[in-house]
Chain A
Amino acid sequence: MADTIPFTEPAIMARELRRSFDGRPAVAGISLEVRSGEVFGILGPNGSGKTTTVRLLNGLISPDAGEMRVLGLDPVTQGDQVRRHTGVLTESPSLNEGLSVYDNLEFYGTLYGIPAATLPARIKSVLERMGLTSRMLDKAGGLSKGMKQRLAIARAILHEPPVLFLDEPTSGLDPEAAEQINALILDLKRQGHTVFLCTHRLTEAERVCDRFAFFSQGRILATGTKAELERQIDGGLRVELEFAGEIPEGLVGTREEQMLQATVDTRDAIADLVAAAVTAGGRVVRVSPLIPSLEDIYFTLQNRSEAPHELA
Chain B
Amino acid sequence: MNWRSIWAIARKDLKEVFANRAVWAPVILLPLILVVALPALLILMPSMVPQQQMNIPADLVAKLLVQVPKGLAELIAPLPPTQQVSLLMVSTVFAPMLLTIPLMIASLIGANSFAGEKERKTLEALLYTPATDGELLLGKMLAAVIPAVLLSWVSFVLYAVVVNAASWPIVRQVWFPTPTWWPLMLWVTPAIAVLGLGLTVIVSSKVNTFMEANQLSGVSVIVVVALVVSQVSGALYLGTGLIILLGAVVWALDIGLIAVAIKTFSRSSLITRM
Binding site for B on A (CB under 8 A): 21, 55, 58-62, 79-81, 83-84, 86, 88, 90, 92, 94-99, 103, 107-108, 110-113, 116, 152, 155
A62 to B271 CA separation, bound complex (whole angstroms): 11
A107 to B20 CA separation, bound complex (whole angstroms): 18
Q: In the assembled complex, how far is the CB of residue A57 from the closest CB belonging to chain B, in whole angstroms?
A: 11
Chain B interface mostly = helix
Q: Is the CB of A99 within 8 A of B12?
A: yes
Q: In the assembled complex, how far is the CB of residue A167 from the closest CB belonging to chain B, in whole angstroms?
A: 10
| Chain B residues within 8 Å of A58, by CB | 128
| Chain B residues within 8 Å of A86, by CB | 128
Q: In the assembled complex, how far is the CB of residue A172 from the closest CB belonging to chain B, in whole angstroms?
A: 14
Q: Is the CB of A98 within 8 A of B130?
A: no
Which of B2-10, B152-160, B194-202 contacts its partner?
B2-10
| Chain B residues within 8 Å of A111, by CB | 5, 8-9, 126, 129-131
Q: Is the CB of B132 within 8 A of A80?
A: yes
For residue B271, which residue of chain A has the nearest CB? A60
Known: A62-B268, A92-B124, A103-B15. 14 other contacts (CB 8 A): A55-B271, A61-B272, A79-B267, A80-B132, A90-B125, A94-B124, A94-B126, A95-B125, A99-B19, A108-B125, A110-B4, A110-B8, A111-B5, A112-B130
| Chain A residues within 8 Å of B271, by CB | 55, 60-61
A59 to B128 CA separation, bound complex (whole angstroms): 9
A83 to B2 CA separation, bound complex (whole angstroms): 15
A103 to B11 CA separation, bound complex (whole angstroms): 11
Q: Is the CB of A155 within 8 A of B125?
A: yes
| Chain B residues within 8 Å of A155, by CB | 125
Q: Is the CB of A60 within 8 A of B19?
A: no
Instruction: Knowing A62-B268, A95-B122 are in contact, say whether A107-B16 is a contact too (CB < 8 A).
Output: no
Instruction: Knowing A110-B5, A110-B8 are in contact, say whether A99-B16 is a contact too (CB < 8 A).
Output: yes
Instruction: Knowing A60-B268, A110-B5 are in contact, say whether A98-B125 is a contact too (CB < 8 A).
Output: no
A86 to B11 CA separation, bound complex (whole angstroms): 24
Q: Is the CB of A97 within 8 A of B268?
A: no
Q: Is the CB of B121 within 8 A of A92?
A: yes
Instruction: Knowing A84-B130, A88-B128, A90-B125 are in contact, say whether A96-B267 is a contact too (CB < 8 A).
Output: no
Question: Among A103, A107, A152, which residue has the most Cβ atoms of chain B within 10 A?
Answer: A107
A47 to B122 CA separation, bound complex (whole angstroms): 21
A62 to B266 CA separation, bound complex (whole angstroms): 12
B120 at the interface (CB under 8 A from A): yes
| Chain B residues within 8 Å of A97, by CB | 120, 122
| Chain B residues within 8 Å of A81, by CB | 130
For residue A167, which residue of chain B has the nearest CB? B124
Q: Is the CB of A112 within 8 A of B129?
A: yes
Q: Is the CB of A98 within 8 A of B19?
A: yes
A21 to B272 CA separation, bound complex (whole angstroms): 8
Partner of A107, one of B12, B268, B272: B12
Interface string of B225-262 (1 = CB under 8 A from A): 00000000000000000000000000000000000000
B97 at the interface (CB under 8 A from A): no
Q: Is the CB of B127 within 8 A of A98?
A: no
| Chain B residues within 8 Å of A98, by CB | 15-16, 19-20
| Chain A residues within 8 Å of B11, by CB | 107
Q: In the assembled complex, how far is the CB of residue A100 from the closest CB belonging to chain B, in whole angstroms?
A: 9
